[in-house]
Amino acid sequence: QAKEAGKNRIHLYDTEFDVEVRVQRELVERIEHALSEREFLLFYQPKVDLRRGRVIGVEALIRWQDPDRGLLPPSAFLPQIQNHLVSQKIDQWVLSEAVAQLMLWHAIGLDLSISVNVSGLSLQTHDFMNTLAKLLAAHPEINRSRLEIEVLETVALDDIEHISGIISRRQAEGIRFALDDFGTGYASLRYLKHLPADVLKIDQSFVRDMLNDEEDRVIVEGVIGLSRAFKREVVAEGVETLEHYLCLMELGCDFAQGFGIARPMPASEFLPWLENWLPPTEWVRHESGYNA
Ligand code: C2E
Ligand code: MG
Ligand code: MG
Ligand code: MG
- Say what the pLDDT of residue 9 is: 56
CA of 290 to the centre of ligand 2 (A): 30
- According to DSSP, the residues that pair with 4 across neighbouring strands are none
- According to DSSP, the residues that pair with 61 across neighbouring strands are 43
With a cut of 90, say whether residue 20 has pLDDT above it. Answer: no
- Say what the pLDDT of residue 243 is: 94
CA of 262 to the centre of ligand 3 (A): 15
With a cut of 50, say whether residue 289 has pLDDT above it. Answer: no
HSE-CB at 267 with a 13 A cutoff on CA atoms is: 16
Ligand 1 atom with least separation from CA of 87: 44
| Amino acid letter, residue 233 | E
CA of 61 to the centre of ligand 1 (A): 6
- With pLDDT > 70 as the criterion, what percentage of the chain qualifies? 91
Does the pTM of the predicted model rise above 0.90?
yes
Q: Which among 48, 101, 117, 147 is the best mutation to test ligand 1's pocket, defined by most ligand atoms within 8 Å of the CB? A: 117
46 close to 262: Cβ distance less than 8 angstroms: yes
- Say what the pLDDT of residue 236 is: 98
Q: Which ligand is nearest to the CA of 74?
A: 1
pLDDT band, residue 110 (cuts 50/70/90) = very high
Give residue-wise pLDDT tens across range 232-284: 999 999 999 999 999 999 999 999 999 999 999 999 999 999 999 998 877 65
CA of 246 to the centre of ligand 1 (A): 23
HSE-CB at 93 with a 13 A cutoff on CA atoms is: 20
- Say what the pLDDT of residue 60 is: 98
Give residue-wise pLDDT tens across range 57-92: 999 999 999 999 999 999 999 999 988 999 999 999
- What residue's CA is closest to ligand 1, atom 21? 238
Q: Which among 209, 237, 242 is the best mutation to test ligand 1's pocket, defined by most ligand atoms within 8 Å of the CB? A: 237
Q: What is the 3-state secondary structure (H, E, C) of the chain?
A: CHHHHHHHHHHHHHHHHHHHHHHHHHHHHHHHHHHHCCCEEEEEEEEEECCCCEEEEEEEEEEEEECCCEEECHHHCCHHHCCCHHHHHHHHHHHHHHHHHHHHHHHCCCCCEEEEECCHHHHCCHHHHHHHHHHHHHCCCCCHHHEEEEEEHHHHHHCHHHHHHHHHHHHCCCCEEEEEEECCCCCCHHHHHHCCCCEEEECHHHHHHCCCCHHHHHHHHHHHHHHHHCCCEEEECCCCCHHHHHHHHHCCCCEECCCCCCCCEEHHHHHHHHHHCCCCHHHHHHCCCCCC
Ligand 1 atom with least separation from CA of 150: 2
Average pLDDT over residues 195-199: 94
Give residue-wise pLDDT tens across range 147-187: 999 999 988 888 889 999 999 999 999 999 999 999 888 76
Measured at the alpha carbon of residue 176, what is the angle toward residues 173 and 181, in degrees to the nearest 5? Answer: 150
Of the ranges 70-74, 140-144, 284-288, which one carries the lowest mean pLDDT score? Answer: 284-288
**What is the length of the chain?**
292
Average pLDDT over residues 37-54: 97
| Rounded Cα distance, 61 and 42, in Å | 5
With a cut of 70, say whether residue 3 has pLDDT above it. Answer: no
Four-residue CA torsion sign, 185, 189, 190, 196: positive
Tell me the ipTM for this assembly: 0.98
